[in-house]
Amino acid sequence: ASRDASQTLVELAAPSLRRLADASGETINLAVPGVDGVEHLAQEDTAHFVGVTDWVGRRVPFELAANGKCFLTFGGAGHRQAKAIRATGYATSIDELEVGLTAIAAPVLGATDIAIAALSISGPTARLHHRIDELAPLLKTEANTLSRQLRGAA
């Protein structure tokens, strides 16, 4: 994505990141698919000190990250969990990227239903694992809101 497109995305996503951070109490990220992995564009931190990693500027492998799995499933090369991800509308990464780290991600879909970005909630597995069912609907709502805004802005 061009710098301008990334900037627009970050600005449009800011309210969603804030709402999700407030609702979950965990770290929220906005990421896009890069050439060789997931690129994190923006992050909203929370009151917790434990388990906060600064992901902005970090690239992580598609296969291991919840947001990466969204990119592979919606418009990428596919993923072994793709069927489940399409069915539920979100992906998880539990102790895969880092032991003790859990993330949930939902795709932000462009006009052709290709994931142009993803929103994710991440935190310590001990805290987040049992809240996946509770938080996934909120995450999907914000991702859908952002999808609609981007289609409107395009």
Q: Which amino acid is at 105?
A: A
42 vs 1, 27, 39, 136, 149, CA distance in Å?
14, 11, 9, 20, 17
Outline where 74-131 has alpha helix (H). Answer: 82-88, 125-128
List pLDDT tens digits, range 65-103. 999 999 999 987 788 899 999 999 999 999 999 999 999
Please give the structure tokens belonging to residue 49. Answer: 């000190």
Q: Which of residues 2 and 142 earns the better pLDDT score?
A: 142
* The residue count for the chain: 154
List pLDDT tens digits, range 21-51. 999 999 999 999 998 899 999 999 877 665 5
Q: What is the pTM of this model?
A: 0.92
80 vs 75, 84, 85, 101, CA distance in Å?
14, 9, 10, 20
